[in-house]
Amino acid sequence: MESRFCVSCGRSIEFDANACPYCGYDFRPVLDVAYDPIGTNMRILYYLLSFFIGLAGIIIGAIYMAKPDPEHQHVGKICLIMGIFSTFITPIVLAAFLYILVLGI
């Protein structure tokens, strides 16, 4: 059986070991997740889409709320709120306004 030495404690370990059984040093590579900030122009585009096309805001909001980073979650929350407002509240307000305008109550 082939062996190698642990870089942390110097003991002999199996060649295919992912971690040292003696000191616990992990030999697996650490994957660094790149941070991708949302630019100002993209935020504006997302907010406009959310306001004028409510379903798009709900979809964008759901996608960004599921991301682990707080900046994406914040943008997703705003898009979700604007999408819901645009889809459900705005038509009711406009209908009430037109009702008052036409019937003159």
Q: Looking at residue 43, what is its pLDDT?
A: 94
CA-wise closest residue to 76 among 40, 53, 50: 50
- The answer to whether 22 and 34 have CB atoms below 8 angstroms apart is no
Q: Looking at residue 78, what is its pLDDT?
A: 96
Q: Looking at residue 69, what is its pLDDT?
A: 87
What residue ranges of the chain have pLDDT lower than 50? none
Token pair of 94 as six digits: 């406009």
Q: Looking at residue 33, what is its pLDDT?
A: 62
- The answer to whether 77 and 61 have CB atoms below 8 angstroms apart is yes
Spatial distance between the Cα atoms of 69 and 37, rounded to a whole number of angstroms: 9
Give per-residue pLDDT as tens, 19-31.
899 998 998 877 6
Spatial distance between the Cα atoms of 42 and 53, rounded to a whole number of angstroms: 16
pTM for the model: 0.59
Q: Looking at residue 90, what is its pLDDT?
A: 86
Q: Looking at residue 36, what is its pLDDT?
A: 78
